[in-house]
Amino acid sequence: MSDSNFTKVYTGDIIIVQRIVSELENEGISPIVKDQTESARLAGFGGGNFPGFQEIFVNNDELTKTIEIVTDITASLEEE
């Protein structure tokens, strides 16, 4: 079990991740974006299982507001 102060709130396509990150930053939230495929490539290990997919993590103190924002964005994408 990890004692991290950060929680993963979204995993998905780089384009959607960038939209979520932009909205979070507009609200004063500083997300961390992890790209396992790019990290593996830079380390010389090749690609990952899901190229182009990234993960967004936020500090647990900002979790409630973040979940609202991510839910709103993903719901609007489902409507389109």
Q: CATH no. for residue 13?
A: 3.30.70
- Which pLDDT value is given to residue 59? 97
| DSSP code string of the chain | ----SEEEEEEEEHHHHHHHHHHHHHTT---EEE-HHHHHHHTTS---SSTTEEEEEEEGGGHHHHHHHHHHHHHHHHH-
pLDDT of residue 78: 85
Confirm whether 1 is domain-assigned: no
pLDDT per residue as tens digits for the range 41-79: 554 555 555 556 899 999 999 999 999 999 999 999 887
Does residue 27 form part of some domain?
Answer: yes
Residue written as token pair 């790019």 = 38
Q: Which residue range forms the structural domain that includes residue 24? A: 6-79
Average pLDDT of the chain is 84
Count structural domains, the chain: 1
